[in-house]
Structure 1
Amino acid sequence: MKLRRRAEPNVLGFQIAPMVDILLVLLCFFIVTWSFARKENELDVKVPAAEHAKETNPVLNQTVINVRADGAVVWNQKTVPLPELTKRLKELADIYPDYAIIIRGDERVPYRFISGVLDTCRAANIWNVAFATSSKAE
């Protein structure tokens, strides 16, 4: 008499390939989000000190614009002339109506350069503008 054999269950071990795939996707995600969330602080821009200054965390829909002591406007670590800055800010304002700009002006920069950046923001229809300061050392 011929008896059927029971099928032996396949014991699957820990599969490493899907785990590596998931880890690589997570690594790419964190690298991309880290680069977007990075604060842009020019080392050669020393912002003025304020008594009640607060450290803010970078959020989405905000950009830091640095104004150096010589009046050069720096955005994304590149010097940008004001007409090009206006064009870029208009594109951002069209996509994100509540876009925020943080102006980091050097403490030695003449105010006419800061007002030029403010006027550029206004021309681009960006109303959410803040000024960066550092806390006073006691």
Structure 2
Amino acid sequence: MNLHRHYEDTKLELQIAPLIDVVFLLLIYFMVTASLIKKEGDISFMLPANVAQEDMIELPVEVLIEITNDGTVQMEGLRFSSEDRTLDSLVTQVAGLKQIAASQSSPFFVNLLPHQDAMHWRIIDVMDACAAAGVNSLTFSKSM
């Protein structure tokens, strides 16, 4: 038996035509499936064109006036001495803040925060200064 010589006589060839067909089928398959996937940037959306504006919210202008136990008055970082009974500079500052609130059409509030050991005459002095500045809304807060 001479099988070895039979294989040497036959020449092996690679068929290229079916290989090209398979490559084209794979190419078509991947092209079709790739177009089905939507990217995030391709999502369409509508922006609102004509939206009615909401009414403006009126933010009140609030002033906190602290009265310490030694009679010192503090407002927004300003200190007024306990010896100043008329508090003219406090009247000027509060009136200026009230004018700012009026120019913005905002409500204006003054909140008094007296220390629990503050003298009543000093609280009355501050209330008189607020009245001289034309304050209509005056409230008291409890000291911490």
TM-score, normalization by structure 1: 0.51
CA distance in 1, matches of 2:89, 2:60: 22
1:1-138 to 2 correspondences below 5 Å: 60-81=60-81, 82-97=87-102, 98-133=107-142
CA-based RMSD: 1.9
Give the unaligned 5+ runs of structure 2: 1-58, 82-86
Do the aligned partners of residues 129 and 84 (structure 1) sit closer, same or farther apart at CA in structure 2, a change above 3 Å counting? same
1:93 to partner: Cα distance: 1.7
Give the unaligned 5+ runs of structure 1: 1-58
Which amino acid in structure 2 is aligned with residue 85 of structure 1?
A: L
Larger RCO (alpha carbons 8 Å, 6+ apart): 1
Which amino acid in structure 2 is aligned with residue 130 of structure 1?
A: T
Contact 2:113-2:143 within 8 A present in 1 as well? no
TM-score, normalization by structure 2: 0.49
1:78 to partner: Cα distance: 2.9
CA distance in 2, matches of 1:91, 1:80: 16
Question: Which structure has the larger Rg over C-alpha atoms?
Answer: 2
Q: Percent of aligned positions with the same letter in both sequences?
A: 21
Structure 1 runs (4+) greater than 4 angstroms displaced: none
Which amino acid in structure 1 is aligned with residue 135 of structure 2?
A: I
Q: Matched residue of 2:69: which SS?
A: coil
1:134 to partner: Cα distance: 5.6
